[in-house]
Structure 1
Amino acid sequence: MGGYDQIEKDLVETRYLSVSKCNLLQALSVLAEQFLCEINETMFSERYIQEAICFHYTISKLICEAFYNKFNPKDVREDIYNEKIVLAKEAIKNIDSGKYKHDKRRKTILSFIVSLVESILKTNFFCIDKLAIGFRLSPHFLDQIPEFDRTTKYPELPFGIFFIYNKNFFGFQIRFRDLARGGLRTVINKDMETALFQKTNMFGECYNLAYTQQKKNKDIPEGGSKGIIFLHPNNVKKDIEIIKKKLTLEGYSGNIEEIIKNYENNARNEYLYSMQKCFLNTFLTLIVANKDGTIKERNIIDYYKHPEYIYLGPDENMHDCMIEWLANESKRMEYFAKGAFISGKEETGINHKEYGVTSIGVFEYVKLGLDYLKLNNYTMKITGGPNGDVAGNLIHLVKKEHTGRCKITSISSSVCAILDNQGIDINELDQMFLKGKALQYFNPDKLHDDGYMIRIDQRRTYQPFVEQFKIYNKKNGKVEENWIEINKGMRLYETTVHQNVVDVFCPCGGRPYTLNENNAQSFFVNDKPTAKIIVEGANLYLTPKARDVLEKSGVLIFKDSSANKCGVVSSSYEILGGLALDDDQFIAIKKQYAKEILNRLVTIAQGEGNCMLQAYDAKYNSSLVSISEEISRRINEYTDCIQEFLAPLNLFDTSNKKYLNVYIKYIPECLNLYKEQLMTRIPQMHMKAIIATSLATHLVYSKGLVWHVSIVDILPNLL
């Protein structure tokens, strides 16, 4: 559950403010912490933010009243709202307790909370059946974080920011263009210590993922976005202890551990799904609009006054059952995209894991890197288990196309790491992928001599205060089961992959910033990097500084926004099909549609990869990462310019037929059966975005980065 709560104690229990107003202040305190921690993480923790709110309770009450005057549908008074905001700012300015440091901190906190209230454009706060509190904010408040240069950490202002709060979670959805798509991930915290460690960086993580997505989405009409749900730990451990005692006292003779394990899994999933539903229902409430663009929920006062075109995709801890639920919920709540709101559906979608769409791109970049360095037989290491989407499908592709050419010598997952310099049994790994089995269930008998497998999910208490992890070692053809002290075991688990010397490293799983400037040296043995090529199958696995260190050491790095972009391209085509077709029509052509999409993914990956390597050979830049960034920047710049030009046009005017033809050419051949629906069901805004990105990507991939517009290029249009 959520952590510290002084507001409830000081303002609710004393009946100074209503429960609703205190809930508002709690939401604002959690939101404010994400940004004020940029100044000082200790001084502006949630504890100190709530202390300031409670210490100056009269100002806090004034802020609440201003919020009510702005958004209460029964009593909207913008004039009174403006007056109270002025009064609140004046009261904050006049704070003087005689203790300068405390006054300065409290002034900073309360002033920023006022800025947040001013930035809120719509909220579901006054909806009767709300499951969480949601805000749609103007992103300009990022420029009002005191003593903080926004451009140093957030170089580009997002197009829109959503914040959603509940006692059990909070989350963000950030997008960089009006029309945007991106995944929704849930960060699960097993204990409060982990939660407190990760909590204050959630906006930063969401921003960086969305910003990476914006660069990655250069090949598709939708701009980049990302959603994150930060889930507080639940109380399942207390329940487990009660169940254990009950079964023991009753003399239960069965397998108690099995019962506990099943209960824990069911309770964890029930908690996860219920909180995801709260977040998503709140999010949809804030964006579902009538046909005229006005917000559908009558208890929402909307100062934004524009429809919002947003699509989601699956990401960490988004299970298939929730994907299907969300598609149905979008239809039930009558969002314009209906089931196309979420990609990755089983029947009416192109499931990423089933078709391996992301891994197709990753594998193409592996092949491009091998060809560039003229490597034939090669070794590879991977993060991410065989049951994962990207890692599992990459293993499958390696077995299918490079058996005998590639040896995977190390691999790690969230609880297990394996090292086998003679090559981990590829058939065993592939079978685990096909059966959806996690890495810890790898058969140790399949190891070669001197190979090992460490499992940090298997631990024992050896002596008082001495814990150990299970490790399997293969020696003289036999597997030995041993135990290793927890500190040595954790070190071995964390460095197994990074220290293994190979040709190609594919990070396909792991938390953001796993390899950073503080531990980059773990990727070196005898002062040499442990891989010649890195293909980033996972987002943000490396920090920019870690990339810089490795590139300067001669590593060829294919950045995440290039290497794993094929997943978003597939999702974009799924959205196009979902918008244009009825469910039965989509299902009827799905097999052929998927085949055509997969072919396009290979072409798109090769197009950018070749463009990057040509620029690298031409000495355009000594950094392949910088070249990737420049390709994204150039395409997005061209796309925005073309979209601005197309915005006032009616594509169905005969004079604009040449632009409409670009849209028609973009459509996969099997969709041409439904050409009329593609013209009537796809919003013109979406069609124009397709035209713009098609022209921009073709221009950059065909002309390269060394090309710039010249008078000769535009001469035909001047005559």
Structure 2
Amino acid sequence: FDPKHATANDKKNVVQSFSRAIKPLCPEKYVAGPDINMGEKDMKWFVKANGQKKSATGKPKKMGGLPHEYGSTGYGVVCAIKEAADFFGQDLKNLTVGIEGFGNVGTFAFKFLEELGAKVCAVADSKGVFYDPDGLKYKEAMDVKKKTGSVINCPIGVGSRREKLDVGGIFGLPVSLIVTAAFPDVINENNAAGIKAKMIVEGANISVTPEAEKRLFERGVLVLPDIVANAGGVISSYAEWKGGYDKGKTFKLIKQKITKSVREVLEAAREKKIMPREAALAIARDKVLGAGLKNK
């Protein structure tokens, strides 16, 4: 089943059939949430079929939800980038960015990065890559995407340095950092050697393979791992599930938690001379074990 190409009716039937099938597990053992090609409408369908309001997060606002369409994941990604830049003494306004994936995460990452003064030079979607070394504008990219279905249809004027590239071409561009915001394993042993960016921020889950991550680390390329960088959506889901949070309060919580976590991970990685993912996993393990001991 491919939710991206399914009809609305087929998608609804699949979502609600699944919801009814796992109803005995909800919400004590299973809580649904949005992800790729799944949004607030799908969560509404899930809850209506399940019959329990807390069986899903990311619901529409009118159902008491905090829809991920607010941009919580993309916002968290940008909080992570800002903290990493501060940690290494870099000014966001001097950084150039490539965004791989232009769905919920990628579009909001672009929006918030632009607001902080970073220059987004490349955006990729399933049709290809559009690159402008002089910088793209969020409004133009969004307008073109909505009207034509792809960012590669941005106009190229006479004398412009803009160009269109094939899918995957974004990874070889001379940008400061790349935000992955689509699928797993897009950076792998086949393209890791060609990466020119000095920072990879995983807005998508497991977008860098373990082998590629190790090679990039050996080359001095920072990979800010998914479990820290893209936690904004999960934090939003927690806030909704717990209750008492609106958009503003949720975004404050996202910034607070991700900023603290990124700083903690980068300090541990530098001190122990290990990859940030190794540091993040060690910190997470200690927290989980510590919580378990407290509950005994």
The structure whose residues are more often strand, as a share, is 1
Does residue 558 (structure 1) correspond to residue 278 (structure 2)? The answer is no
1:500 equivalent in structure 2 = 173
Task: Call closer, same or farther: CA 1:427–1:317 in 2, change over 3 Å.
Answer: closer
1:325 equivalent in structure 2 = 45
1:380 equivalent in structure 2 = 97
1:368 equivalent in structure 2 = 83
1:438 CA displacement: 4.3
One-letter amino acid matched to 1:287:
L
1:558 CA displacement: 0.8
For CA contacts below 8 A with separation 6 or more, give which structure has more relative contact order: 2
1:393 CA displacement: 0.8
Distance 1:451 1:401 in 2: 23
Task: Call closer, same or farther: CA 1:319–1:439 in 2, change over 3 Å.
Answer: same
1:282 equivalent in structure 2 = 21
Is contact 2:32-2:43 (8 Å) kept? Answer: no
1:408 CA displacement: 1.5
Task: Call closer, same or farther: CA 1:427–1:368 in 2, change over 3 Å.
Answer: same
2:293 equivalent in structure 1 = 641
Task: Call closer, same or farther: CA 1:375–1:324 in 2, change over 3 Å.
Answer: same
In structure 2, the residue corresponding to 1:505 is in which secondary structure? Answer: strand
- What is the TM-score of this pair, normalised by structure 2? 0.88
Is contact 1:353-1:390 (8 Å) kept? Answer: no
Equivalent in 57, 73, 87 of residue 343 of structure 1 = 57
Does residue 273 (structure 1) correspond to residue 12 (structure 2)? The answer is yes
Is contact 2:15-2:45 (8 Å) kept? Answer: no
Distance 2:96 2:59 in 1: 35
Equivalent in 392, 395, 409 of residue 110 of structure 2 = 395
1:258 equivalent in structure 2 = none
One-letter amino acid matched to 2:170:
V
1:112 equivalent in structure 2 = none
In structure 2, the residue corresponding to 1:313 is in which secondary structure? Answer: coil
After superposition, where does 1:538-687 map in structure 2 within 5 Å?
538-577=204-243, 593-617=246-270, 619-643=271-295, 645=296
Is contact 1:516-1:542 (8 Å) kept? Answer: yes
Equivalent in 289, 312, 316 of residue 32 of structure 2 = 312
- What is the TM-score of this pair, normalised by structure 1? 0.38
Is contact 2:123-2:151 (8 Å) kept? Answer: no
CA root-mean-square deviation? 2.6
Distance 1:447 1:611 in 2: 48
1:60 equivalent in structure 2 = none
**Unmatched 5+ stretches in structure 2:** none
In structure 2, the residue corresponding to 1:494 is in which secondary structure? Answer: coil
**Unmatched 5+ stretches in structure 1:** 1-168, 170-186, 190-264, 289-306, 332-337, 454-491, 578-588, 646-719
Residues 517-576 of structure 1 show CA distances to partners (whole Å, capped at 9, x for unaligned) of 24423xx2xxxx411111111001111111111111101111000101121111011011
Distance 2:169 2:133 in 1: 11
Is contact 2:199-2:221 (8 Å) kept? Answer: yes
Distance 1:352 1:319 in 2: 7
1:199 equivalent in structure 2 = none
Larger radius of gyration: 1
Distance 1:427 1:448 in 2: 22
Count of paired positions? 292
Is contact 1:418-1:496 (8 Å) kept? Answer: no
One-letter amino acid matched to 1:281:
R
Distance 2:259 2:189 in 1: 31
Residues 167-210 of structure 1 show CA distances to partners (whole Å, capped at 9, x for unaligned) of xx6xxxxxxxxxxxxxxxxx559xxxxxxxxxxxxxxxxxxxxx
1:671 equivalent in structure 2 = none
Is contact 1:566-1:605 (8 Å) kept? Answer: yes
1:637 CA displacement: 1.5
Equivalent in 421, 437, 442 of residue 133 of structure 2 = 421
Task: Call closer, same or farther: CA 1:621–1:636 in 2, change over 3 Å.
Answer: farther
Equivalent in 163, 174, 198 of residue 452 of structure 1 = 163
Distance 2:281 2:22 in 1: 31
1:430 CA displacement: 5.2
Distance 2:236 2:201 in 1: 19
In structure 1, the residue corresponding to 2:46 is in which secondary structure? Answer: helix
Is contact 2:99-2:179 (8 Å) kept? Answer: yes
One-letter amino acid matched to 1:508:
A
Distance 1:432 1:396 in 2: 15
Is contact 1:420-1:447 (8 Å) kept? Answer: no
Distance 1:533 1:321 in 2: 35
Distance 1:633 1:448 in 2: 54
One-letter amino acid matched to 2:241:
I
One-letter amino acid matched to 2:186:
T
